[in-house]
Amino acid sequence: MSENDALLPLALTSPTEEAQPKTWRGFSEPGLLIRHLEELSLNALPALETTYLDGWVVRFADGYTKRANSINPLYTCATDVEHKITYCESLYAVRKQPTVYKMTSLAQPRDLDDMLARSGYREEPGASVQLLALDALDKPNQGRVTLAADANEQWLGAYFRLNNVQERYMPTMRHMLQHIAPQKCLAAVYIEGQIAAVGLGVLDRGFLGLFDIVTEPTMRQKGYGFQLMLYLLNWGKANGAGYAYLQVMMSNSPALYLYEKLGFHEIYQYWYRVKW
C-alpha cells in the first residue's frame, strides 16, 4: 500500500476551511459509508426471510433481535410511502410481531422518521456504529484465545449463555450463524478449560464486523475481552481487512471504554421506530 492509499478516518472540515472531498476507501461522502456499513451488517446477521420492497429491505427471523426483524429503508423509494407502511404492518401482523424500522440519518424517504412518529411509532434506542482503521495494531498475548471458522457445541453453549439467548430462540440463532455468507471467525477465551469470553467476527469486502463480544460476569476486569478483540482484529487484518466496525449501545459504558481504548470512533448512530 502506497502513502497515497493510506487508510484515513472520516474527518470534518471546519467552517473556515475550504471543503475538500475526503476519500475514504472509495467513499467520498459520509452517507455512502453509512449505507455501506448498513449493508455489511445485514450480511453479518442473515435473517430467515427477506423481502425487498421498493428500496426497503424487510427482514424476519422469528422475533429474535430487532436487527433481524426490521425494515431497513436504505434506498430511494418510487411508490406511495403510506401504502408501503401499511403493507409492512400487515407482514409483521401475520407473524404476530411488532413492526420495526431500523433508522439512520439516510432513511428513505428523508421525512420517514417524522411520518412514523405521526403514525404512532415510538422511538427506541439503537446503537453507535464505530470504526477502526487496522493499519496499526497491537499484538495480542499468546495463548488462551482460540479462533475457529465454525461453531462447536461448547462455543455455542457459551455464546447462548453469555448473550442471554432464550431457549426458544436458540435454533434461530444457530441457523443464522450457520448461514453467514461472508468469511467468519468465532473466538473464545479459555480459562482452565472453560470459556470465559466469546466473540464473532465477519469479514466482508475489506471490513471486519465485530459482534457479541461478551465476557463471563465473574471474569470481567481481567483483560479477557481486550485480548479477544485483539485476536479478532489481527485475524481480520491478516485476511485482508483494512477496517473494523462494531455496534454498541450508548448505555454500555464498559464496552464503550474498551472500544475507545482500542481506537474505535463513532461514524453514526441508528435507532428504531416500533409499533404493535
Burial 129-140 (b: 16+ CB within 10 A, else e): bbbbbbeebeeb
CB-count burial class (<10 Å; 0-12, 13-18, 19+) for 125:
exposed
Q: How confident is the model at residue 4, as a pLDDT?
A: 32
222 vs 11, 107, 196, CA distance in Å? 34, 40, 10
Predicted confidence (pLDDT) per residue in 58-93, tens digit: 999 999 999 999 999 999 999 999 999 999 999 999
Tell me: pLDDT of 18 over 80.
Answer: no
CATH says 136-241 is which class?
alpha beta
- Amino acid at site 263: G
Q: Using CA atoms, how far apart are residues 20 and 212, in angstroms rounded to an integer?
A: 37
CA end-to-end distance (rounded Å), the chain = 51
Contacts of 117 (CB under 8 A, 6+ apart): 123, 273
What percentage of residues in the chain have a pLDDT greater than 70?
90
Q: How confident is the model at residue 24, as a pLDDT?
A: 57
What percentage of residues in the chain have a pLDDT greater than 90?
87
Tell me: pLDDT of 243 over 70.
Answer: yes
Whether 269 and 126 have beta carbons less than 8 Å apart is answered as yes
Predicted confidence (pLDDT) per residue in 206-234, tens digit: 999 999 999 999 999 999 999 999 999 99
Predicted confidence (pLDDT) per residue in 133-169, tens digit: 999 899 998 789 999 999 999 999 999 999 999 999 9
Q: Using CA atoms, how far apart are residues 206 and 157, in angstroms rounded to an integer?
A: 30
Q: Where are the domains of the chain?
A: 30-125, 136-241
Predicted confidence (pLDDT) per residue in 197-211, tens digit: 999 999 999 999 999
Q: How confident is the model at residue 10, as a pLDDT?
A: 34
> Vertex 115, ends 113 and 120: CA angle to 5°?
95
Tell me: pLDDT of 9 over 70.
Answer: no
Residue 76: Cβ within 10 Å count:
9
Q: How confident is the model at residue 257, as a pLDDT?
A: 93
Residues in the chain: 276
